[in-house]
């Protein structure tokens, strides 16, 4: 390590230490907003204002997405390095930053809440970017920092759109962070096994001509369908249920029983709460599937498209479909992984102090469990090398399978050398014989300042250290770019959606009603 690099890293780390209280307060603000996918208006507004105050040039609503942004800050000539924020929450997971199960004040428990939490993903990378900017300014290091706001990650929403529109084309390297979400990927970086393909589509069934369902029974002299005979048309809800049951019934036949693939659905509402004497005009269902490779994803797509046409035909409806996401498996970059992990090892794993332990013990007691001296999952305070994490991960996978689970960082990995890394989020150690903790526990720990601050501290310092290595060591960046070029040449994977793909922001996604602070679910 050069003297300049070492000194710049110390400067960046000191900035994060000095601003940790402020960073934690920022995190609490985003965590409390907890806005769902494509509807993160106030979260995005906060990031745009914050970045402008920090001297970034910010495009508000980048690539036609109202809750996205693209921010740039330059300090003369040098590489362009990119990382990003996410800030979407998940419907049905409202949880207060408390030691007992309770929704946030004034909201239904079915309101959105941060689960992963994406709130700390964004604030941690923001900490890393601002610390890097400070060190670049103090030490006269040239280069450009690019920071994008990526809404709707839970739907693989924005990254494919930003990529298609060229927002990643000028990046020399990308750092992708996510709070730990499954072992052994905790306090480490991915090595060979990246996330796989993800497809998501909304099928809409539309009953526009219910009066033509029973022409023989209609009164030709009636100005409206006699006796409301149009109500006898099956309607859109019937088509939706046929689609749902047929697709779920066929699930076992879609793909092999092994391979780590998953299939989920969600029914979108267009406000059909009033039961009139008419068939339902429109019904929508979203299917999302994660597979190790594109071939498997395409097989599921063929079945769903066929089922949609059959369901529509049975119910006197027309079927329309709309892509939500279509992501490729990720690309590995060993140079980036090694560079980042060296910085993570230098920073060290998160440590949970007395205040965090007290919070965890109070949660244990609220569940009627005995408070333990070391309540946190042991792995959250340990490092694991990318190579060892890879070895352990492969133990759970068939030998033929190349990718595991799904996340939309994969799209970014096709534009520049990328490293995907994980820092622990607070999680409690299961007690033998008592089973896992309920889901609300991790959600709450993600919002309590004493327990989430260590994640911000560690991840932020790791991002800044990696960026400063790439800015001051041209040989490292050159090696990463050469590896990227070699992998692209060996296995081309063109984008799966057209360049003019429009983000599905207009669909009836879950949202808040009301204005300002008077929100109801």
Domain residues of the chain, as ranges? Answer: 3-196+329-490, 198-217+224-327
User: Which candidate, 44, 40, 52, 127, places its Cα nearest to that of 83?
Assistant: 127
- The residue written with tokens 């749902």 in the block is 244
Based on its alpha-carbon atoms, the radius of gyration of the chain, rounded to whole angstroms, reads 25
Segment 15-32 shows an average pLDDT of 97
Per-residue pLDDT tens digits for 58-87: 999 999 999 999 999 999 999 999 999 999
Q: Where are the alpha helices (DSSP H) in 156-293?
A: 158-164, 236-249, 251-254
Q: In this structure, are residues 148 and 71 in contact, taking their beta carbons and an 8 Å threshold?
A: yes
The verdict on pTM exceeding 0.85 is yes
The percent of residues above 90 in pLDDT, for the chain, comes to 83
Give the pair of three-digit tokens for residue 11. 């400067």
Gap between the Cα atoms of 461 and 17, Å rounded? 9
Give the pair of three-digit tokens for residue 202. 């909304």
Domain 198-217+224-327 falls in which CATH fold?
Alpha-Beta Plaits (3.30.70)
pLDDT confidence of residue 400: 92
Phi, psi of 209 (to 5 degrees): -130, 60
Q: Tell me the pLDDT of the chain averaged across its residues.
A: 93
**3-class SS of residue 354:** helix
pLDDT band at 220 (very low <50, low <70, confident <90, very high): low
Q: In this structure, are residues 44 and 69 in contact, taking their beta carbons and an 8 Å threshold?
A: yes
Residue 511 scores a pLDDT above 90: no
**3-class SS of residue 438:** coil
Q: In this structure, are residues 286 and 201 in contact, taking their beta carbons and an 8 Å threshold?
A: yes
Per-residue pLDDT tens digits for 155-197: 999 999 999 999 999 999 999 999 998 999 999 999 999 999 9
Domain 3-196+329-490 falls in which CATH fold?
Aminopeptidase (3.40.630)
Gap between the Cα atoms of 144 and 122, Å rounded? 19
pLDDT band at 260 (very low <50, low <70, confident <90, very high): confident
pLDDT confidence of residue 264: 94
Per-residue pLDDT tens digits for 273-325: 666 777 888 999 999 999 999 999 999 999 999 999 999 999 999 999 999 99
- The residue written with tokens 């140079």 in the block is 335
């Amino acid at each position: 390590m050069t003297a300049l690099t070492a000194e710049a890293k110390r400067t960046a780390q000191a900035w994060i230490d000095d601003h940790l209280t402020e960073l934690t307060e920022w995190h609490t603000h985003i965590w409390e907003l907890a806005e769902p996918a494509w509807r993160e208006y106030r979260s995005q507004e906060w990031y745009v204002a914050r970045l402008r105050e920090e001297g970034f040039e910010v495009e508000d609503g980048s690539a036609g997405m109202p809750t996205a942004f693209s921010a740039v800050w330059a300090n003369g000539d040098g590489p362009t390095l990119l990382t990003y924020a996410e800030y979407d929450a998940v419907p049905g997971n409202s949880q207060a930053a408390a030691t007992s199960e309770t929704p946030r004040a004034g909201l239904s428990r079915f309101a959105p809440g941060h689960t992963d939490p994406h709130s700390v993903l964004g604030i941690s990378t923001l900490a890393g970017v601002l610390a890097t900017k400070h060190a670049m300014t103090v030490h006269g290091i040239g280069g450009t920092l690019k920071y994008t706001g990526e809404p709707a990650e839970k739907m693989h929403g924005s990254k494919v759109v930003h990529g298609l529109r060229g927002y990643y084309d000028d990046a020399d390297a990308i750092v992708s962070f996510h709070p730990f979400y499954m072992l052994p990927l905790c306090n480490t970086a991915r090595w060979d096994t990246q996330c796989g393909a993800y497809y998501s589509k909304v099928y809409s069934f539309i009953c526009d001509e219910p009066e033509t369902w029973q022409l023989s029974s209609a009164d030709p002299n009636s100005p409206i369908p006699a006796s409301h005979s149009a109500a006898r048309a099956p309607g859109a809800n019937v088509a939706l249920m046929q689609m749902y049951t047929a697709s779920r019934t066929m699930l076992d036949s879609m793909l092999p029983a092994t391979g780590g693939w998953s299939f989920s659905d969600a029914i979108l509402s267009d406000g059909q709460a009033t039961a009139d004497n008419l068939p339902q005009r429109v019904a929508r269902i979203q299917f999302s599937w994660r597979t190790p490779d594109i071939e498997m994803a395409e097989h599921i797509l063929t079945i769903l498209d066929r089922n949609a046409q059959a369901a529509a035909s049975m119910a006197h409806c027309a079927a329309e479909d709309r892509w939500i996401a279509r992501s490729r498996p990720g690309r590995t970059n060993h140079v980036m992984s090694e560079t980042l992990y060296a910085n993570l090892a230098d920073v060290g794993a998160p440590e949970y102090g007395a205040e965090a332990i007290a919070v965890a013990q109070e949660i244990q007691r609220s569940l009627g469990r005995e408070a333990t001296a070391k309540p946190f999952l042991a792995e959250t305070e340990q490092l694991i090398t990318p190579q060892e994490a890879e070895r352990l991960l492969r133990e759970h996978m068939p030998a033929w399978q190349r990718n595991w689970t799904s996340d939309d960082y994969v799209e970014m990995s096709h534009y520049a050398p990328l490293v995907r890394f994980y820092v622990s989020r607070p999680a409690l150690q299961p007690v033998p014989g008592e089973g896992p903790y309920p889901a609300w526990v991790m959600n709450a720990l993600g919002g309590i300042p004493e327990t989430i601050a260590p994640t911000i501290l560690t991840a932020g310092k790791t991002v800044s250290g990696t960026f400063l290595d790439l800015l001051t060591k041209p040989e490292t960046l050159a090696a990463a770019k050469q590896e990227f070029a070699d992998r692209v040449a060996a296995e081309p994977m063109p984008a799966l959606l057209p360049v003019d793909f429009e983000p599905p922001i207009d669909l009836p996604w879950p949202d808040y009603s009301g204005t300002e602070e008077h929100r109801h679910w």
